[in-house]
Every structure is written in structure tokens, then in C-alpha cells.
Structure 1
Amino acid sequence: MFKDAEKVQLRDEVFCNYDSLERPVEDHKEVINVTIQLLLKSTDYDEHSAGLTLNYWTTLTWIDGILNWKPEEHDNIQTLIVHSDYLWKPDLSVYNRVEQSGSAAILDSDHCIVKYTGQISCVSPSNHEILCQPNLKYFPFDTQICTMVIGSWIHEGEEVNIHTPKVPVSLSDYSETGEWKLNTVNITYTSGKYDCCPNSTFPYVEYTFSIERQSGIHVCVAIVPAISMFVMSIISFFMDIKGQERNMITVANIIVHLLFIQFYAWSLPVSGPDPPLLMTYSRDSLIMATFMLILTTILRKLILCRMDSPKWIGTATGYAMNSRAVQLVFMFDGSLKDVAERLGDDDGRNIIENVQSASSSTNNDWLVLAKLLDRVALIAYFIVYFIMCIAFIP
């Protein structure tokens, strides 16, 4: 009881004539150095709203030149617990908040510890959502870089300066939440010297957060279906051009592409400097699947064509069938046996031996041309998909 009475008396004494609206310095030229430390609790990122939500405790420490006393004269009392509303507080604020209305101060109304030396320490819980434009180029293996900027709202650097301790951001009590993992936190101090105000500085501190998406679930719902669409496109090349199965697989592949693109068109935000490579891959793969349907229709018409082929086609197909590379490609294609025999090419005939001959009514030149175009398209597909996969690698 006696101790509390002494504290009340001490509080009344040190706060006599104290003005919480004025900087607590004896000389107006004196700078108040404020040390700020963040105790990060959790983070949550929403790419649709382009905002990173930070839950943290803010520790502010500074020297008040007015609030000091001698402990030996006050029953050896060395500290007082005072509500922040009765103190002058540094107006440090978050500059790049999503919601610009209301107070941007990081030090909310709370209790602070005042030491006899004038040192004041305040710890206040804070929650701020900062602007962070997403870059989804490498979705779902993307990493976002978000920056929180803290500085004095009204004071110049010659009045209130900012310092950070040896450990500016403590992660000792940090908890991972959601699909994002915090990789690093970097601190950058800027003196804030501008041409408009050569005699003043406006210092601020930038906290740069690097967060990485936990992509496990996206591998199942995005990467595996994308690979399956590629496999469907390639498998269709090994089906009979004249058969309906090839058309059915190709049409089904196009439908799968459309559903895949529409799903992620609704799931991903439309903002950002670069479109996701996954969407670019799906778009190009859809174009190739559509081309596959057009190519299949044309090749089927060629095979069923009964018109005499131009002379240059016969010459070109004859030259092609004499090529070792073409013979190797058509090694298991029995429909070209007649062509090899007609050209008198023993090697070509040996490659396709033991396979039933093609119908005599079929125009061999059109058949060979269709087969050649089909295999050229297959090789082109492999090359294009390989380039697309390489571009997707970060």
C-alpha cells in the first residue's frame, strides 16, 4: 500500500506540467532517437486483394527528456507503468497500407514502462495489411516480395530519427499460416533526403518480406493435369488417321484444355506485370490441340482422296521413301508396304515386311504425303512442348 502511494506521488510529481503533445526535449534542436523492433507473429497473403497481412508486436524505445527522477529520493522506485495516452509518443506509421483511412500509427493505446533515466519502452500489438502487387509468372512455384515502409508521419529526421536494434525483426514466436512460407526478412534504412527540402530529412525503414507459396496441392491440381494434356496430344499421333478414335481423343483434349484454363482464369487474379507461365503454357497447348484437330481432318481427306496426285508429289514422296530417316520413322507402319515395293526399294520393303498391303484403290502418293505430314507434326510437337517446358523452369 505504501509503495503504491509512493508511485502515485512520484507520478504526480514527474507529470506535473508535462505536455504529451510536445516533444519532450529541453532544446528544440535535440533529436529523439526511436528504436523500433518487430516481433512477428504471423503473415497471410491474398493475391486477389494484393495485400500482405502482418500480425506483430511493436517494441518502441526512446528517451523522454522530461520524465526522469532520482530513485533514492522516491523509495528507490526505478520504473513506472504509465498509459501511453499520457505520454508523448513517436508518430511512426505504416506508409503503404491497403486501407488508407483511419490511423496508420503502429503504437496503439497501451501501457508503457517509464524508467527513472527517462527511457520509455512500449509494446503494442499491431495488425496491418500492406500493398503487395503479386507477380504470378512462375505460379504455383512463385515467390512474392512485399515491403512495409515505416516512418514518422509528421516529424522530420532532425526531430525524430529511427534506429533498429541488432535483431530488428524477431521470429522466435512466428507461426506459419495458410499456403505461404516466410523465407527472409530484410531491413533497409533510408535517410530520406529530397531535392525539395535540402535542409531536412525524412527517414524511414523498409521491411522486405520474401514469402514462398507452398505448392504441394497445386502440383496435384495444376502440374499433373498439364502433363496429362501433353500426353493426350502426343498419344493422338499414334492413332490411325482414318479412325474415329483419333478425332474423339483430340476433341476431348480440347475440352480438357478449355476447362483447365477457365478454372484458373477464375482462381487467379488478373493483376500483375506478367501472366502466369502455366496459363501461357495452357493457351499454347490449346492452340496446338486445335491445330491437331484441323491437321487430322486434312490428313484424313488426303488419305481418302481418289484424285491423281501432281507429279511433284510423286517425286517428293519417292525421294522421301528412299531416305533412311523416313524408313526408320515408318518402320512399323504397314500401310506403306505397297509404296516401298512400287519404288523398288528393298530396304524399305524389308523394314515394313510381314504387314498386309494397302488397298489397291488407295492413292499411294496421297497416303505417303499424309503420313509424312503427320510425322513432321509429331516432331514439331515434341520440339514446341520441350521449349514450353524449358520456359516454365524458374
Structure 2
Amino acid sequence: MSTSGWMTVTWEDSRLTWTPATYGDIEYIIYTKQNKIWKPELIIDNSVAGMDPIGHGDIFFKVKHTGEVRWDPPGLYVTHCDIDVTYYPFDYQMCQIEVTSFAFTTEVLNLIKTRDTVNTEDYNMNGEWILYTSRVEEHVLEENGEKFPKLEFQIVFKRRPGHYLTNIVYPVILISLLTNLTFLVPAESGEKISYILTVLLAMAVLLTLVGDSMPTTSKHTAAIGVYISIILLLAAMSIVITVLNLRLYIREDQSDTPKWLQWLIFTMLLKLNCKSKKVEDESSNDQVVSVDDDLESQYANYVHKSLKPVRNQRPQSQHVLGKMGDFPFECKEVAVFLDFVFFYLFNILTFIVTVSLFIIIAVCDVPPI
């Protein structure tokens, strides 16, 4: 954190008192040389730009007749902050400016705060961060059995998420939805693989942009980084599924559907079809329903012909397996059906992961103070 400002340090020196009436009603004077007056030697303990004492040799001191000395050293302070990017870009960050003195122990010098918060009267608004709150705490450092005073100025910032929502979060969610559209691309177009590879490449580029905009740290893992990684994994899985499905679609022997796939379709996937209940109801009346979807109409014929003898019994997997030789679907039809199943499945997974991300950020992201 880079902070420009000044500190106001006051103390009393009994050697610098006088009676104003005796000296022409002069109530205060200004010294220009620091070697003419005592001052505390203060340093920024968590500075990353040098450990020189605060203040410059030509800074003025204001001395009152009561012996009170005021010192306002300005400076640009670059300090270390422990950044937690878990809830990026909806995160809060707390940074400290630690002022201490290793020249004087607590037996000689005490650092006492004059305010409970940092004076922000001259604070300028920042386009990336909002000054959320601040406070000042008194601490004691122990080194080699000696105690040294320390003041800690704590400042809590809240990140402005507008830029990141527009340039990172929104594109990530949009591309994740585009990933699922690969299952709707017709196999005859010959663009299914090139489409999903393009989307996967765009997702990888976004992951790089997110990494470049966050501090390099392994202490904390950003939730949005995990989200993008999951979406990236789903995109990779969709590539594998698309390749295998295309191999099934262009198989020379269209009647040679794998046995395990036949079992999977009849025991699980067709039950997910929203019209399967209607087909079963019609088949129980010894009728075949004419529907628009050719796959469902063939399934109705299969139910009518092969499962009619066991209508009064609950269909078991062994009854279905016994009819595998009469599997009524071609490989192309199975491939199209699987595309629709995976399209809905991946959309549900994407929705769950996206909602989980925003719930975690909204519930768990609380300011440090």
C-alpha cells in the first residue's frame, strides 16, 4: 500500500517553557533545525521502501510557551499488506502502517494515540478502492527482553467491483453458457470440435487475465479462480464427450450400439425425458402415440412390443436386458439423444456452480473490522 500524507506528533518538553509576558507576548516559536531540539526517532516498521527515520532535517517544529512541541513530518509510505483474494473481486483488504521506535524503550518513550481513527479529511477518492473504515491501536514490541512502543494505523478498503464485473465475471459466465451450446451444434455441420476448442481457448485466456489482475500469492485461492477452473474442466469434459459422441454418430454399422449404452439409455436416460410418462400411458392402452420426436416414437413402439407381456409387473433391468437384441435405435439417434441429455446436464451443473459462487461471496465476505 502506497500512502502519501503526514503524521502529527506532539510531546511536552519542560526545558522549552517561557512566560509570554516577559518575551513580548510570544506564545509560540518555530525551529528550523532538528539538531537544536529533541525529537523522537520514529520508523515505519512494515515499510518495504527503506527503514529510514521519519522526517526530514529541514522540517519546522512549532513550540508553545507551555513546552508543547508539534511536529508534522510528511512522507510517502510504502508498506506491506497481507492480501486475501478469496472473495475477489468483492473483497475487503486491511493494511497497516506500523510506527515504532527502536531507539527508546517504553521506560523512556510512550506512543499514545490522539484519535481512534485515521484522519481522512484530505483523503482523495480512489477509482479502485473505497475507504471502508480505519482505526488506531497501541501495541508493545518485545525484542531481546526489551519493550518498545508501537502505534498501528489500520485501514480497511473495499474493492470497487464494477470494472471486474464488466471485464471478468460477466465474460466468464457468458462463455460458460456458450460451452454448453456445443451439444446443440449439428454433427453434420462438422463444427462441433472447432467450436468447443475455440470456447476452451477463450476460457483459458480469461483465466490468464484473472491471474494477472490479482496479487501473486499461494496463501489464499480466489473463489472466482476456482469457478473458472471448474468451468474449464466442464469444457474439457464436453470435448471428450463430443469426440466420443461423434464417433458413435458416424459409426458404419448404425445398429451396433454398445450394450452398456443400451442399458444406460433404457434404465436412466429415457426416464429423464419429459414425454416418457405420456408414452408409457399410451402404451398401456395398446396404442402407439405419434409424436414429433422420432426417437420417442420408436421408444413407444419398443415399449408396446417388448414390454407388453410384463405390463402388470414392474419392469426390471433384466427384462430390458433380455430385449437388447431388439434395440430399436440407430447410433445416430442415440448420439442426438445424448447431446440433448448432456446439454441439460451441463446447464444444470453450470447454474449450480455459478449460484454457489455468488452465495459464497455474499455470505462469507465480511470486512475484517
TM-score (norm 1): 0.72
Q: 1:92-171, aligned counterparts within 5 Å? A: 92-101=42-51, 103-106=52-55, 109-171=58-120
| 2:122 maps to amino acid | D
Residue 267 of structure 2 corresponds to residue 308 of structure 1: no
Equivalent residue number for residue 388 of structure 1 = 353
| 1:301-359 Cα deviation digits (max 9, x unpaired) | 22333153355654553455873x3243899972414522431459xxxxxxxxxxxxx
CA contact (8 A) 2:257 2:331 kept: yes
Residues 363-394 of structure 1: per-residue CA shift (max 9 Å, x gap): 71545653554345334423432343213541
Q: 1:155 to 1:238 in 2, by over 3 A?
A: same
1:339/1:190 Cα in 2 relative to 1: closer, same or farther (>3 Å)? same
Counterpart AA for 1:217: H
- Mapped contact 2:141–2:147 kept (Cα < 8 A): yes
Distance 2:189 2:304 in 1: 29
1:36 match: none
Classify 1:114/1:182 alpha carbon distance in 2 versus 1 (closer, same or farther; 3 Å).
same
**Aligned AA (2:43):** S
> Shift of residue 91 of structure 1?
1.0
How far, CA to CA, are the matches of 1:107 and 1:211 in structure 2?
30
Q: CA deviation at 1:108?
A: 5.8
Aligned to 1:185: 134
Structure 1 273/322 Cα, relative in aligned 2: closer, same or farther at 3 Å? closer
Equivalent in the alignment of 1:12: none
Distance (Å, rounded) in 1 between the aligned partners of 2:227 and 2:125: 31
Q: 1:170 deviation in Å?
A: 1.4
Aligned position for 2:222: 276
Matched, 1:334 2:293: yes
Answering whether residue 170 of structure 2 is matched by residue 224 of structure 1, we say: yes
Q: In structure 2, do the counterparts of structure 1 residues 345 and 211 end up closer, same or farther at CA, with 3 Å as the change threshold?
A: farther
Structure 1 77/342 Cα, relative in aligned 2: closer, same or farther at 3 Å?
same
Q: Does 1:289 align with 2:235?
A: yes
CA contact (8 A) 1:185 1:208 kept: yes
In the alignment, the residues of structure 2 paired with residue 230 and residue 391 of structure 1 have an alpha-carbon distance, to the nearest angstrom, of 14
Partner of 1:45: none
Shift, 1:250, TM fit: 1.3
Relative to 1, partners in 2 of residues 1:314 and 1:170: Cα closer, same or farther, differing over 3 Å? closer
2:125 corresponding residue in structure 1: 176
Q: Give CA deviations for 1:137-189 in whole Å, capped at 9, x if unaligned.
A: 22222222111111113100110101111455211221113422211112211
| Matching residue of 2:149 | 203
Report the number of matched residues. Answer: 323
Amino acid aligned to 1:81: I
Check the 8 A contact 1:80/1:115 in 2, yes or no: yes
Give me the whole-angstrom Cα distance separating, in 1, the residues matched to 2:193 and 2:276.
23
Q: 2:206 aligns with which of 245, 260, 270?
A: 260
> Which ranges of 4 or more aligned residues in structure 1 deviate by more than 6 Å?
329-333
Q: Specify the SS of the correspondent of 1:299.
A: helix
More helix by share: 2
The residue type paired with residue 213 of structure 1 is: R
Indicate the residue corresponding to 2:16 in structure 1.
67
CA contact (8 A) 2:298 2:328 kept: no
Could you tell me how far apart the structure 2 residues matched to 1:258 and 1:97 are? 36
Secondary structure of the residue that 1:255 maps to in structure 2? Answer: helix
